[in-house]
Structure 1
Amino acid sequence: MAGGVALAVVPVLAALVLSGAVLWLLGTDPLEYYAYVARRGLLTPSGLQATVTRMAPLLLVAAGLILAFRTGLWNLGSDGQFMLGATAAAVVAPPLAEVLPGWAALGAGALAAMVAAALWSLLPALLKARHGINEIVTTLMMSFLGLSLANALVKLVFLDPGTTVPQTRTLAVADRLPALPGTIVSGGVLIGLAAIVAVHLAMTRTSFGLKLRVVGASPRAAIHAGLPVPLLTVAVFALSAGLIGLAGAVEVMGVLGNVRADWNPAYGLSVIPLVFLARLNGFAAIVYVLLFSALQIGAESAARRLGVPAYFTLVLVANLLIVLAVVEYVAQRRRPAWT
């Protein structure tokens, strides 16, 4: 247990120290910056509500990544899947909200997002399942193509002619996901929490999850045991991408209301180190997503108040990835050869 805690806490502290050194070189007091970020992201009512709202898409992305990674599949196409899901929801939900009840329009938008993202993952899934082609390369390539396709669809096909900014039609505020009672927190956070808990329980408490873990641990052993590895591979890709596409729908139908051209929050690249820091544990991932969301919200405020660029959070994520790699390397070297 002590080792697990150390592996979870030490990388975060080391990344904070490294990032603090970067802040110091830029002429900013690291302690002042971190204190301000924590205060704005967690210790004020408005900041805390913004932080919890930001968690909604991140939790869904984390759920999709945990599902794939625990099965031994590297779905690195999350950003493209997210954007295509967001675009599909932005195209479907606004016109349906004018003729259908709100819940039906939102449900249709969510379903469209999941289907669009799942279909986009089909090619890498089939190449992996039928020909054994490395999914790292194919999912990354499909991610770039997905981002470009979503941008082209917004600018050329689904452009709202009533605006001067290239964007899709806007979903009215009254038709969006309802806020939690007494707050401005998007109800999408409940969807995110339900998804990541469901994935965690499915992977640890069900026979289906056991089959997926066997596939992830040893595909040869899974084939020898009679498991349909190609079918499971395609199913996991579709489910993983569907959850990530749902994250895009939650962001559009809960917060933004539309998709603008050239918009890409790159949530996937930010969440990857968080799920590995959580050791692919869904409950631990919730904690890290909360901290990262607070960091993002606080950093946006710090960019205006302290002059530190908002994208400094990417520096922290990069340092976290470096530290995680070093820690994992040291842990592997110290592990006995017979284990």
Structure 2
Amino acid sequence: MATSVGDTLEDDVVAIPWTSFCDKAFNCLVKHKHDAAGSSLRIYASDFIRVYEEILDQDLLLERCKELNPDLEVTAAYLSEHLSQGITKALKQTCTAATQEACMKIVTCNAGLLVMQLHTMISGVPFLWEFRMPAQTASDAFYRHVTLPMIVMIVGLQKQQEDLFALLNDKDSEISDYKRSGQHLSRKHLETKVFDAGRFRRETLTPKHLKDCLSNVHLNPFGSEAGLMYRKMMEAYKDITTSAREPETRSPKNHSSSNIPVEVVKETRETTTAMDVTRLEEEPKPHKVKKAKKRMRL
């Protein structure tokens, strides 16, 4: 059954770049979305085979906090913000005995469930959290969160390569024109060879050239630049698919500039707004608390 854009881009989470996470021998991708207005949190993970997800609303946040931290009382708003910042911090560092601010570990991982523990501190008091993410059973879950974004990235990168090649050819033509008019380089060593696209492809696709970037392909598929590219391309994809559904109000020339595969555009008919990458904000100043004999309040 064809997947609509409404199903494919059901919310802003799809446009959030994945972050690589490794615990021991397990490599996966993780991303999350914090809804400050609703004091809720969504977290997603993928082992490159399936997608795991948990949605934590206010009631579930407070219930699990009471279960795991019985001597601590917090509001759902404070808790969701603390967890969001804790996830962001934990994904930026390796979990060691010296890690104090945030540390994430995988407790359980199988075909049906992924459990990740987050260890942080609240006002100097150790705080424990468990994300219990069941594997998504929907047939299009992996397509929506992994396959489709990868298709969009591949097509976008192909377009970038074509544009770069065209720019280099234009530069070569410009230099050639200068030479024909009698111009000379001030320094001979600055002269470059005419760009050969075929040769460039052959040389950059050899195992020797790709060894470094492909040796640990699961560890960091999204660096800072790639993450920004991911978000921008998903935003562009949203705009293109929206235009494809609208009445023909633009000239054919404008529509012909789309480089998204026809099969993908036909298969997706609705879209939602992409959001900016969730960024780690400065953690709010914690409330002053004292470790009570029985309970703590925040």
Q: Which has the larger radius of gyration?
A: 2
The TM-score range, normalised by the shorter chain, is under 0.3
Greater percentage in helix: 1
Give TM-score scaled by structure 1 length: 0.24
Greater percentage in strand: 2
Give TM-score scaled by structure 2 length: 0.27
Which structure ranks higher in relative contact order (CA pairs < 8 Å, sequence separation ≥ 6)? 1
